[in-house]
Each structure stands twice: as structure tokens, then as C-alpha cells.
Amino acid sequence: MKLGTLLLVIALSASTFGGQQPAKTPADQLPPLSYVCPMAGDEDVIEDKPGVCRKCGMELKPARLDSVWTCATRPLLVVESKPGKCPVDGTPLVQVTAAVSWTCTDQPSIEKLEPGLCPNGAPMVKRYAARAHGNHNPQHGGQFFMAPDNWHHIEGAYLSTGVFRLYLYDDFTKPLPLDQVRAVTARLVTKQTFDTATKTTKELAAAPLVRNGRFLEARIGKLALPAQMTAKISFKKGGPEHVFDFAFEGFSKEPPPGTRLTAAPGMPASPPAPAPTTAVEGGTIEIAPAMENALIPVPIPETVPEIMAQLRTRTDQIRTFIDRGSFASIYVPAFQAKDLALALDARKDTIPADKRKIAQPAIGQLVRSAYLLDAFGDLGNKQQIVDAFSIFAAAVKDIQASFPER
Ligand SMILES: [Zn+2]
Ligand SMILES: [Zn+2]
């Protein structure tokens, strides 16, 4: 067995690999040790201590998770530590979560969480493995969401020809097998009204999404931009219907098909490029600007008025993302707001007791609704997001009434 089906990325330089000097990575440069649940569907359980899964009770397993930059449509074919261009198709690299381990080229069943030496004396090589839910990036230049079943993922692309195309993926963002695509029923609603009193939706214009090969599509013509539309999808006959709200500021552009990668020594050969499904128009995938600083925690300012000002900014950002339909970006300001609220919690002794009585439950409410905004933002159901944001905004209001703003 050579590399087998595992994706190996040789992270050592050729001279090191030649066996002159075993590469020593200082322990503090390794991605931190996390404890994850081995159960499929519990990929969001990531703890910093050993223990049992809060969702299913299984024993957590140690792993090193790293956020790396790679090609959107060829995850982990190349792995970079910073943004750049995909060498295959020239599109901007995207961030994915991968599990990092060390193995031996001649014995890929060896898997260690630290670098070291192989039985044959050669230094171990770094291996990146895709993780379920590790890639939430659009593959066709559209908008990408995760389904509430925590397994399916979908992407909607609105083409300049007036066609809406729905792509379906599994938990690893691989295209759904054809038999499963056949079981999907879906329609696209382009006009609907929502009665806030009765919480019911009335569809005024809808088109069935019809299967065309591996994807579904509907010809809806050219709507004025930004165009809002809602896909209602059942993944199985008789299964629950999930709602995904799209807002397209422009038409979606398929990333270019890419030239053949000349495989570098030790690199796996390029997998066959997926057959282009449409006339390629050139252009690039846009990375949501928020994604680039998603991993940078917000520095907490010194004074309460400065924290309050930051909290106001994050609240405005969330509102803007909701208005623009950039639901997948909401978690960034939501989590930053959560951190700011926790910083206020640590300073609650500086305010009078009567104000504290208002502030304390409001902070709890803000933290809970920030998690809801994160979860619902991934799912792309606007009504759920708006409901969570109204809880969030009410909490911010109470906090503003309790802490001095200057
Ligand atoms: Zn679990
Ligand atoms: Zn996911």
C-alpha cells in the first residue's frame, strides 16, 4: 500500500525527509490538544479537557484540530497556514478545520498526536484529515448552509441566466450520491408574506426544484438584485421540510475548472476535476470578509464605556449581516458580543445593586442568544435568526440601561 486512500500531505522539506535532521516541531507550535466526541453528528463537541460528551455521554477522544487554508473545491489537496491562491484553479484559499496527526509513509496505520520517529528511523510526516463539518464553504460560488439534521449541507447558486441551482452535500461537503439526490423534494419560493401575529407564511410565488443530474434547479428568471428567495427542502420522502433563506447581492459565478496540478514529489496526484456543469464565466469566489478574522478573539477594552461601545458595534454588525442575508457570518460578532458581555459580568460589582438585578439576567440572555445566533446562522433560516436576534437585542438594551455608557 502506498498512500492508500488517506490524504497525505508531506509537511517536511525534501532535505529533512532525506533523513539528515529529523524535524523537531516545538510542542508549543502544535495545534492545541482538544477532546472530541467520536459519534457522528457530535462534531461540534470540542472540549479542552478529557471527559464525556455532553450530548451522547461517550468518552471523548484527544485530537489536534487546526484551521488551515486550502482550495475550496479540493479540500486539503494543498494546506497553507495563511490566505493565498489555490494553485489548481487560482481561486482564493478558504479556511477549513482539519484533524492533524503524524504518520509514517510506509505504515499509514500509525497515527500519533505528536511528531516523532518511525520504526524505520525516518521522521514521521504530518497528516491532515478532513473533519465532518470542517468545510462550510460554497463549492459553486453560491451560498452555503448546513441543514438542521446536522448532516446534510446545501448550496444555492443564482446564475445570470435566471436559473437557481441547488447543490446537495453530505457531512463532509461531498456531493450527495445520486440515489439520495433522487429522494429529495424541494421548491423555491420567490415571494411570500409572513404574518407575525399568527406566525404563518403564505407563499405567493413558488417553483418546483427539478433534478438535473446531481443538482436541482428552477428557472425563475432574472429578479432585481439583491434577490431574496427561500428553498424549502425535504431530504426524504415524507421527511421534515427545512427552510433556507438566500439573499443574492449578485449572480453566482462558478469557480474556474482549474488546470491540472503537476504533482509535487510526495504530494498526492490531483483528483479528477469535477466535470464543469455550466459554462464557466471566470471570476472568483468571494470570501466573506468576516471569515478572515473569525479566529481572532476581540481584545476586551479596559473601561466599561469602551466595552459598551464595542457591544453596540457588534450588535449593529449582526443586524447588518441579517439584513444582507450574510447569515453564515453572524457568529463572528455574536461570539465577540458574548465575550464582551462576560467581561461586563466580571465588572458588575461596579454598578449599584438595583442595576445589577437588571444586568445579570440580561448578560445570561445575551450569552444564550449569541449561541442561538451562531447555530441558526449556519442553518440559514431567517425567521429563527430574527427571533434569536430580538432576544439578543432586548438583552443589549437591558445591559445598556444598567452600565454607564460614559
Ligand atoms: Zn457525543
Ligand atoms: Zn456542517
How far, in Å, is the centroid of ligand 2 from the Cα of 41?
Answer: 9
What count of Cα atoms within 13 Å lies in the side-chain half-sphere of residue 31? Answer: 20
CA 34, CA 41: separation in Å to the nearest integer?
A: 17
Task: Dump pLDDT digits (tens) for 216-226.
Answer: 999 999 999 99
Task: Dump pLDDT digits (tens) for 287-325.
Answer: 333 333 334 456 788 899 999 999 999 999 999 999 988
DSSP state of 330: T
Ligand at minimal distance from the CA of 133 is 2
Is residue 235 helix, strand or coil?
coil
The C-alpha cell 455532553 sits at 54
Give the pLDDT confidence score for residue 298 in this predicted structure.
Answer: 65
CA distances from 195 to 200, 202, 324 (A): 5, 8, 21
Task: Dump pLDDT digits (tens) for 121-150.
Answer: 999 999 998 888 888 889 899 999 999 888
Give the pLDDT confidence score for residue 12 in this predicted structure.
Answer: 31
How far, in Å, is the centroid of ligand 2 from the Cα of 131?
Answer: 10
Ligand at minimal distance from the CA of 136 is 2
Ligand at minimal distance from the CA of 59 is 1
How far, in Å, is the centroid of ligand 1 from the Cα of 370?
Answer: 22
Ligand at minimal distance from the CA of 97 is 2
Buried b (16+ CB within 10 A) or exposed e, 210-242: ebeeebbbbebeeeeeebbbbbbbebeeeeeeb
For the chain, what's the residue count? 406
CA distances from 346 to 137, 340, 343, 391, 404 (A): 36, 10, 5, 22, 15
How far, in Å, is the centroid of ligand 2 from the Cα of 48?
Answer: 21
Ligand at minimal distance from the CA of 42 is 1
How far, in Å, is the centroid of ligand 1 from the Cα of 147?
Answer: 18
CA 111, CA 121: separation in Å to the nearest integer?
A: 16
For the record, the C-alpha cell of 245 comes out as: 433563506
Give the pLDDT confidence score for residue 297 in this predicted structure.
Answer: 58
Give the pLDDT confidence score for residue 268 in this predicted structure.
Answer: 37
pTM of the full predicted structure? Answer: 0.65
User: HEC profile for 76-129?
Assistant: CCCCECCCCECCCCCCECEEEEEEEEEEECCEEEEEECCCCECCCCCECEEEEE
Task: Dump pLDDT digits (tens) for 151-197.
Answer: 999 999 999 999 999 999 999 898 999 999 999 999 999 998 888 88
* β partners of residue 217: 165, 210
Ligand at minimal distance from the CA of 40 is 1
How far, in Å, is the centroid of ligand 2 from the Cα of 67?
Answer: 15
Ligand at minimal distance from the CA of 52 is 1
How far, in Å, is the centroid of ligand 1 from the Cα of 46?
Answer: 10
Give the pLDDT confidence score for residue 44 in this predicted structure.
Answer: 83
How far, in Å, is the centroid of ligand 1 from the Cα of 33?
Answer: 18
Residue % of the chain over a pLDDT of 70: 83
Ligand at minimal distance from the CA of 172 is 2
Task: Dump pLDDT digits (tens) for 231-267.
Answer: 999 999 889 999 999 999 999 998 776 543 333 333 3
Q: Is the pLDDT of residue 381 over 60?
A: yes
Of 246, 176, 272, the residue nearest 216 (C-alpha):
176
Query: Contact at 8 Å (CB) between 244 and 231?
Result: yes
How far, in Å, is the centroid of ligand 2 from the Cα of 368?
Answer: 20
Q: How far out from the chain centre does Cα 165 lie?
A: 20
How far, in Å, is the centroid of ligand 1 from the Cα of 50?
Answer: 13
Per-state percent for the chain, helix, strand, coil, to nearest 5: 25, 25, 45
CA distances from 326 to 16, 254, 290 (A): 44, 19, 10
How far, in Å, is the centroid of ligand 2 from the Cα of 165?
Answer: 20
How far, in Å, is the centroid of ligand 2 from the Cα of 336?
Answer: 21
Task: Dump pLDDT digits (tens) for 323-339.
Answer: 988 888 898 899 889 98
How far, in Å, is the centroid of ligand 1 from the Cα of 404?
Answer: 42
How far, in Å, is the centroid of ligand 1 from the Cα of 38?
Answer: 7
Q: pLDDT class for 351, splitting at 50, 70, 90?
A: very high
What residue type is assigned to position 85 of the chain?
Answer: K
Q: How far out from the chain centre does Cα 189 lie?
A: 25
* β partners of residue 230: 189, 245
How far, in Å, is the centroid of ligand 1 from the Cα of 53?
Answer: 5
How far, in Å, is the centroid of ligand 1 from the Cα of 96?
Answer: 21
The C-alpha cell 518511525 sits at 118
Q: pLDDT class for 16, splitting at 50, 70, 90?
A: very low
How far, in Å, is the centroid of ligand 2 from the Cα of 225?
Answer: 28
Query: Contact at 8 Å (CB) between 156 and 244?
Result: yes
Determine phi and psi for 98, rounding to 5 degrees: -130, 150
Q: Is the pLDDT of residue 275 over 80?
A: no
